[in-house]
Amino acid sequence: MRWEEGRAAIERMLADGELQRVPASREQSERLLAQARVHVASALKVCDEDPPGGYALAYDGARKALTAILENEGLRPTTRGGHLAVLEAVRAQLDPPMGRVLRQFNRMRTRRHDAEYPPTDSPELTPADVREDQATAESLIDIATRLLDEMSPFRTGALGCRAPKTRLLTLTVTRGFSEDPPAVEAGNGAVTTVVDAPGDALVRPGRVAMHPVFHGLGLWVPKTYATRRYS
């Protein structure tokens, strides 16, 4: 999967302090999804006697499902970004195809806020409201579970791309040498060694031109992305 989808929005949110970088953790993502499932199950148990409490649990389950996607990428909302940053970061990357269910989550977010801080004219939540949006939360949990194997950690750098973990991309130097160590960062962050640089290669001032070489299920990278500058 190319990372271009949503890249500008994620980088802006990082710069604005709405998101922060953390070590990408599948374990943490699985932990959040497990908590989300418990929240959603608990919502059904209490909704008849405590609809606002049940709704808060259903909403928290949905929110943690989306947060699990970000944790798997090495991203986390800050206090400044809050719950809205979770929605915006996932929407920037995954709308489409998740537009409809993310709109439902945004409605849940607003409704949960009104339940926590109810306006005088807001209607009371009912058990039926909880059951309806509990189903939305379950859908988000299912989607997030499937996405963990598809989304690789967020990376920035000269290559400007990301690749699924199951794909391998190797770069070899075709022109020029560098004083830097013979390695480049590619795809999902794996470091590959630069090999077989021709002995009579022409050194271009300020750069080394790279050429992509593919193995198995390779990922195509334009030459403009495969050029790394050196000072």
Give tens-digit pLDDT for 15-35.
Answer: 999 999 999 999 999 999 999
Distance of alpha carbon 2 from alpha carbon 20, whole angstroms: 21
pLDDT in tens, 32-86: 999 999 999 999 999 999 999 999 999 999 999 999 999 999 999 999 999 999 9
pLDDT above 60 for 12: yes
What local confidence, expressed as pLDDT, does residue 54 receive?
A: 98
The two tokens of residue 22 are: 């953390």
Could you state, in order of their start, the residue ranges of all structural domains in the chain?
Answer: 7-147, 168-229
Cα-Cα-Cα-Cα dihedral of 33, 36, 40, 45, to 10°? 120
Q: Rounded to whole angstroms, how far apart are CA atoms 206 and 226?
A: 15
Distances (CA, A) of 37 to 31, 42, 53, 62, 111: 10, 9, 16, 9, 20
Q: What is the pLDDT of residues 169-218, one digit of tens each?
A: 333 333 333 333 433 333 444 333 333 333 333 333 443 333 333 333 33
- Tally of CB atoms within 10 A around 177: 16
Q: Whole-angstrom Cα distance, residue 44 to residue 63? A: 17
The tokens for 206 are 């300020």
pLDDT, position 210:
39
Rounded Cα–Cα distance for residues 67 and 197 (Å): 43
For residues 219 and 169, the answer to whether their CB atoms sit within 8 Å is: yes
Alpha helices in 47-188 (DSSP H): 51-73, 82-94, 99-116, 127-147
* Sequence-distant (≥ 6) Cβ neighbours of residue 89 within 8 angstroms: 6, 9, 10, 13, 19, 70, 75, 77
pLDDT of residue 122: 83
Calpha distance 23→63 (Å, rounded): 20
Q: Which CATH superfamily is domain 7-147 in?
A: Nucleotidyltransferases  domain 2 (1.20.120.330)
